[in-house]
Amino acid sequence: MSVTNMAAKPKTRKLLFSAGFSWMFDAMDVGIISFIAAALAVDWGLTPQQTGLFTSINSIGMVFGAALAGLMADKFGRKAVLLWTLVIFAVASGLSAAATGFAMLCVLRFIAGFGLGGELPVASTLVSESVPAKDRGRAVVLLESFWAIGWILSALIAYYVIPDYGWRTAFVISGVPVLYALYLRRSIEDPPRFVAQSNTMRQRFSVREKLQSVWSAPHRRSTIMLWILWFTVVFSYYGMFLWLPSVMVLKGFSLVKSFEYVLIMTLAQLPGYFTAAYFIEKFGRKFVLVLYLVLTAASAAWFGSATTEGMLIASGICLSFFNLGAWGGMYAYTPELYPTKVRSTGVGFAASFGRVGGVIAPFLVGWLVAREVPISSIFWLFFVTVLIGAIAVLWLGTETKGKELLD
C-alpha cells in the first residue's frame, strides 16, 4: 500500500495529523534552540562552554520527562500524558522570552525539555498502537516526518524573525502550541488496545515491576540494543544539529548566511523521512536503520572535512536526509518490541537513556571547540558513534515487519 493510500484513510489521517502537529511543535522548539544559541553567543557574549550548557539543558529535562511520562502513560493513558507534556513544554518555552539572565533561561529550558522529552515517546506509542500491523511502521515514520516540518519552521523563524526582531520573539512563537492542546484534547483517544486492558490490570504493575519486565529475559536483548541505538542516535543528532548554525559560523560564514544554509540542509529531512517510510514496510526495520545509520556516519565524516561552500551544503543535505530517516525508523521500531502493559515504559526509558547522549554531546562539542579541536575531528567522533548504533541493530535487533504488537 502506498503512503498516499494509507494517509487517505480518514481515521489514520486524522490521527497522524493530530499527533503530527504536536510533534511538529516539539521540533520547532528544539530547532529554535540551535539558532537562538548562535544568536545568544553574540548577544550575551556566551563562551563555547556556556553555549554547550544552554543546548544541553533542554536534553537534561528530556531525560527525566521521557522516563516519567513513559511510566505515567502506561498507568493513566497515552492521551492524558500527551496533553500535559505538550502544555508543560509550550508554557515554559513561551516564558523563556521573559528570561532576564542565563541561569533563569536555563531553568525554563529544563522545564520545556521535560515536557518535550515526555511527549515524543508517548505520541509514537499512541500511533503505533492505533494502526494495523501492515501500515504501522510507515505510519510512525510519517508521524516523525512532522519533525522535519517543525525544523523547517524553526529555520524560517531564525532567518526571518531573529535577525530583525530578536530571539525573544522566537520564544514567544514557540509558546503558541499551548493553544493546540485545546484541539488535541478532542481529536485523539487512547488506543483500543490500551483501553482493552482493565484499569485494575494496569494498576497491578508497580514501577519496579515494569522496569523488571523491560529487563526480563524475553526483552533484555531488545532493551540493550535499543538503549545503545537511542544513545548513539541522540548523541550524534544533538551534537551535530544543535551546533550546526554555530559550526557554519566557525567555518567563516555570517550568522544570517549560516541560518540560510542550515535552512537548505533542513529541507532534506522530509525526503529522508518519506523514503524511510517507503522502505520500512518493503524491506523491514533493520534494513532501514542499518542503511540510514551507515550513510549518516559517512555524511558526518564528509561534512566535518568539507572545505568548500558546495561541499558543505551537499554533505549537510546528506546528513539531514539519512539522519532523520534513521530517526523515523527508530521511533517505528521501538514500540514494537514490548507488550502493551509496559510499552510506554520501555519506549520512555530507551528514549530517556538516549537523551543522556543529548545532554553530553552539545556540552562536549562546546568543550572541544573551546580547546580549538578541529571541526573535522569532532565529526569523526560522530562517525564512530553512529556506526556503533548500526552494529548494535545488525547484531542484536530482531525484525518486526508485519508482526502484530504483543499484548
Question: For the ranges 66-70, 201-205, 221-225, 391-395, which has the lowest average pLDDT?
Answer: 201-205
Contacts of 202 (CB under 8 A, 6+ apart): 74, 75, 341
In this predicted structure, what is the pLDDT of residue 407? 60
Confidence of residue 406 (pLDDT cuts 50, 70, 90): low
Residue 2 has pLDDT above 50, yes or no: no
Share of the chain above pLDDT 90, in %: 29
8 pLDDT more than 70: no
What mean pLDDT comes out for the span 298-319? 89
Which alpha helices (H) appear in 268-342, and where do they start and end? 269-282, 285-305, 309-333
If pLDDT is split at 50, 70 and 90, which confidence band does 203 have?
low
**237 vs 216: CA distance, rounded Å:** 30
Instruction: Give the helix/strand (H/E) hosting 395.
Output: helix 375-396
Tell whether the model's pLDDT for residue 1 goes beyond 50: no
Q: Which residue has the higher pLDDT, 289 or 262?
A: 289
Q: pLDDT tens digit string along 333-392? A: 998 998 888 888 888 889 999 989 988 887 888 888 888 888 889 999 999 999 999 999
Which comes out higher in pLDDT, residue 204 or 278? 278
What is the C-alpha separation between 163 and 259, in angstroms, rounded? 10
CB atoms within 10 A of CB 200: 7
Q: What is the pLDDT of residues 21-49, one digit of tens each?
A: 888 988 888 888 878 887 888 888 888 77
Q: Which amino acid is at 115?
A: G
Q: Supply the pLDDT for residue 371.
A: 87
Q: Which fold has domain 11-183+218-396?
A: Growth Hormone; Chain: A; (1.20.1250)
With bands split at pLDDT 50, 70 and 90, how would you rate the model's confidence at 292?
very high
Whole-angstrom Cα distance, residue 6 to residue 37?
Answer: 39
pLDDT tens for each residue of 212-235: 888 888 889 999 999 999 999 999
Q: What is the pTM of this model?
A: 0.80
Q: Residue 181 phi/psi, 5° resolution?
A: -60, -30
Answer whether residue 5 shows pLDDT above 50. Answer: no
Query: 125-146 burial, b if ≥16 CB within 10 A, otherwise e?
Result: bbbbbbbeeebbbbbbbbbbbb
Round to whole Å and give the CA distance between 149 and 140.
15
Please report the pLDDT score of residue 379 as a whole number: 93
**pLDDT given for residue 202 in this prediction:** 52
Q: Where are the domains of the chain?
A: 11-183+218-396
Can you tell me which residue has the cell 484513510? Answer: 9
| Higher-pLDDT residue of 177, 206 | 177
Q: Which of 6, 10, 20, 30 is nearest to 277 (CA)?
A: 6
Under the phi-then-psi rule, with left for phi > 0, alpha for psi from -120 to 50, and beta for the rest, what region is 179?
alpha
405: left (phi over 0), alpha (psi -120 to 50) or beta: beta
